[in-house]
Structure 1
């Protein structure tokens, strides 16, 4: 068998990591389906990455980001992409992107992507990879907050299969080198990635503690988790020392800088590094409390288990021993078993007046058939159409106005002379033409579309009252502008 076709874990990890980026690409692929705005101007994938970034930055060890806070920050980013649009549209785009990343349209709120793998027999099989990007959780007080998943953090920092601790150390070394070389813009990007790595490291510890609270037997507290806690404590102590030195140097560079741009970049770096220090201190506190959590959960789960009772072997524990005893010796254990197995019971004392008729009552003969089947009463449905095909044809002829413009009042008067019910149909079609879907007409291949605009006169005609309308028929031009709706007025302007 070809060795290259065997089970490849690296290929599977990369396929899963690539699948995590699919919801971001779907945002741009589906923005053309947005009906409440022209969303082509927005870069939805970038907005999605910015939303994940805001959720991840606001996350802590056991808390998350407020939905209102995330939407406010994302709305500002959306406004940068389209400053000429309204604030209502910016807010709606931000909500649409965030809800798409939470996957509100799915019951499980999880994305499902297929990926292939070669099993031990060399057969290629297609499986489904479920994952989430942003999840909704509740804290101990019942407050709903947003939480970025492990897959979302991988998508955010661009490291699709990297050890967390080694990536954190590499980011710290790279950050120090960039600062020494004066490349503060690049150092800011590395510092932001290091902060995300810190959040991801905390999520790894948090997942182990949550699994311990659910079922202590599912977590290896003998070797794996103690080694992980020891390594994590050493890692956090080293990172705190390094980050404090970096923050101190950057604070001095910020105070001594004469260039305003360099001063601002240094100040931003100080804020990010201090946030990393704060997160590492919180993580260190949780690591020190982790073994206490293990011992508390061990006591709670050990003494809260339901009592287990073994089943009784009737053949081996009662029948076979009883057969070896005499009748007088076997009466006591057998009577004890049946007294407890059958439970309590009350004996009914029959009366002669009810016992004799019950004994003499003949047994009922079961019926072979259930009975006659009644035929259902079926009534024909009546035609509920209000207008006939002839009335539709007359209305279309009246409203087909290429090269001319007519008022709705004059059309209603002419329709009333032709048919008594025709004005209602003409008025209905005229109101529908007040806001025509020219794009749909263009996609259907229609040559004309009916248009209606408001006139400055009052409508009092054929029993209808309100604002009068000007009606005309416009020609639909072919699509030559990349999907832009194009119509040409068929008559003089009014």
Structure 2
């Protein structure tokens, strides 16, 4: 059971109104903006610290778990497993979190580890709140120098619907900033700085620090792709809500230049990493280099995907512009002003059925709208009437010669085994036998034969009497269970009484003559 995270409040000390010289401080816009960004960065980490503070409220002893560490790992997994179009699977994230949780408390049972993982993930989503978001309060100085308190709403992990009806998890920009330790930084500059730092660290042989820099560069790539995805999603909802004259085209142009630069940097970095991996004699050094190769390959894959999406952005915009421009108009302002529950459902529910049906009939007769009849265009009608009929062959089109392939014989039993089994079951009508004796005799003849005898005997437990009667058969195999248990080394169940019964041949002949 998840507990709703309380609203977060960031408290800061205000500067004194008078300094030693009697001069009032005048924090400029840049200084005040920097302070606000640091306060927002502090607010984004507060939900993670709040998990450790609230784990005492869980029923049980959970003090051994480092909840903030698990939360960071969850944000990391969701960020790296989400794609451009889809997100991360909820259950997959939980399963990948379990090894880290189990390492913190190896003696605890597996269901407890899973409960901790789900509790942390639900609190990062903030299940239980109205908008599933967090809120922090921070202070800034207004234009007149007065101290103003402002609200900062943010989310860490969101649940978004997929095109196939599945709900996925996606991390927000704030969550990515929590991972890389920055907030509201420019994506391009941060990416360039991270990759220059990565190249320098590799050249100096500091692969442990280079791995951290490579992971931060990958987070920035994910954040850049997320910015483009949101712009395209907003375009699909309302093309007028996105500035496709300057903002988005400039962003696409910068992103394409960004991808081209990253390709050159990352391929050079990949060459240096492989060289360091092949020339090193230290096993730990080789392992770090191999991990770096995988991370940089993933960066190149994400840049390739981002480039394809950037090239598709223009056609998507034009297609959405055409679709939305020629879409049927909405029902008008009256539809938005109608309160269906307050004006229809609530007054009708207390009424008797006789009176309520009058209201509902009138509503559905007018509320469902008109049905536009299908109309034929004159040009299509003229073409259909004036087009001469196509001459057809009398026997139709020539059928292709089928390529027949012989079906392989994959039956378990051969024809000889079937004949032997039928001979065993060809019993006198006045001398039935137990299934156990038939199985023992069949086993002496062939080790595989008991399986076929048992199959035929079980099938005879419900004999097709009507079919045999209509086909004119004079004898019919039957099996009866009298409650005796079967004593056999290979089979279990009931020791059936197997025998044959005579059918009424005279009755069958008379029935066939009447039918004729």
Give the TM interval when normalised to the shorter protein. Answer: 0.5 to 0.7
Say yes or no: does 1:15 pair with 2:75. no
Pick aligned residue for 1:142 from 165, 190, 193? 165
Deviation at 1:84, TM superposition (A): 2.1
Query: CA separation in 1, counterparts of 2:205 and 2:172?
Result: 34
Deviation at 1:83, TM superposition (A): 1.8
Say yes or no: does 1:249 pair with 2:254. no
Contact 1:102–1:135 (8 Å) recurs in 2: yes
Question: Which whole-Å deviations, capped at 9, do the CAs of 1:408-437 have from their partners, x for residues lacking one?
Answer: xxxxxxxxxxxxxxxxxxxxxxxxxxxxxx
Say yes or no: does 1:281 pair with 2:304. yes
Corresponding position of 1:323 = none
Corresponding position of 1:379 = none
Say yes or no: does 1:157 pair with 2:194. no
Alignment of structure 1 residues 173-184 onto 2, 5 Å: 173-184=196-207
Deviation at 1:205, TM superposition (A): 1.2
After superposition, the Cα gap between the structure-2 partners of 1:309 and 1:131, relative to the gap in structure 1 and judged at 3 Å, is closer
Residues 273-282 or 255-264, more deviating: 255-264
Q: TM (normalized to structure 1)?
A: 0.60
Contact 2:140–2:147 (8 Å) recurs in 1: yes
Query: CA separation in 2, counterparts of 1:164 and 1:80?
Result: 35
Pick aligned residue for 2:63 from 34, 40, 43? 40
Deviation at 1:276, TM superposition (A): 0.3
After superposition, the Cα gap between the structure-2 partners of 1:101 and 1:307, relative to the gap in structure 1 and judged at 3 Å, is closer
Alignment of structure 1 residues 305-454 onto 2, 5 Å: 306=329
SS at match of 2:27: helix
Deviation at 1:147, TM superposition (A): 0.5
Deviation at 1:255, TM superposition (A): 3.5
Say yes or no: does 1:52 pair with 2:78. no
Contact 1:5–1:118 (8 Å) recurs in 2: no
Contact 1:184–1:266 (8 Å) recurs in 2: yes
Alignment of structure 1 residues 138-287 onto 2, 5 Å: 138-287=161-310
After superposition, the Cα gap between the structure-2 partners of 1:119 and 1:88, relative to the gap in structure 1 and judged at 3 Å, is same
After superposition, the Cα gap between the structure-2 partners of 1:6 and 1:262, relative to the gap in structure 1 and judged at 3 Å, is closer
SS at match of 1:3: coil
Contact 1:134–1:147 (8 Å) recurs in 2: yes
Unpaired segments of 5 or more residues in structure 1? 311-494
Contact 1:78–1:90 (8 Å) recurs in 2: yes
Query: CA separation in 1, counterparts of 2:322 and 2:210?
Result: 47
Deviation at 1:124, TM superposition (A): 2.7
Deviation at 1:10, TM superposition (A): 2.8
Query: CA separation in 2, counterparts of 1:162 and 1:137?
Result: 25
SS at match of 2:149: strand
Aligned residues: 309
SS at match of 1:112: strand
Deviation at 1:13, TM superposition (A): 2.5
Deviation at 1:256, TM superposition (A): 3.8
SS at match of 1:41: coil
Alignment of structure 1 residues 481-492 onto 2, 5 Å: none
SS at match of 2:127: coil
After superposition, the Cα gap between the structure-2 partners of 1:3 and 1:263, relative to the gap in structure 1 and judged at 3 Å, is same
Contact 1:6–1:122 (8 Å) recurs in 2: no
Corresponding position of 1:87 = 110
Query: CA separation in 1, counterparts of 2:233 and 2:330?
Result: 25
Deviation at 1:123, TM superposition (A): 3.4
Query: CA separation in 2, counterparts of 1:81 and 1:95?
Result: 16
Deviation at 1:68, TM superposition (A): 1.5
Contact 2:41–2:182 (8 Å) recurs in 1: no
SS at match of 1:106: coil
Say yes or no: does 1:120 pair with 2:143. yes
After superposition, the Cα gap between the structure-2 partners of 1:237 and 1:67, relative to the gap in structure 1 and judged at 3 Å, is same
Query: CA separation in 1, counterparts of 2:280 and 2:194?
Result: 25
Corresponding position of 2:54 = 30
Deviation at 1:308, TM superposition (A): 10
SS at match of 1:268: helix
Corresponding position of 1:368 = none
Deviation at 1:165, TM superposition (A): 0.6
Query: CA separation in 2, counterparts of 1:199 and 1:91?
Result: 28
Query: CA separation in 1, counterparts of 2:26 and 2:239?
Result: 39
Pick aligned residue for 2:319 from 284, 296, 308? 296
Query: CA separation in 2, counterparts of 1:86 and 1:65?
Result: 26
Deviation at 1:245, TM superposition (A): 2.2
Deviation at 1:3, TM superposition (A): 3.0
Residues 283-292 or 124-133, more deviating: 124-133
Question: Which whole-Å deviations, capped at 9, do the CAs of 1:116-136 have from their partners, x for residues lacking one?
Answer: 233334433323222110111
Pick aligned residue for 2:84 from 46, 61, 65? 61
Deviation at 1:2, TM superposition (A): 5.4
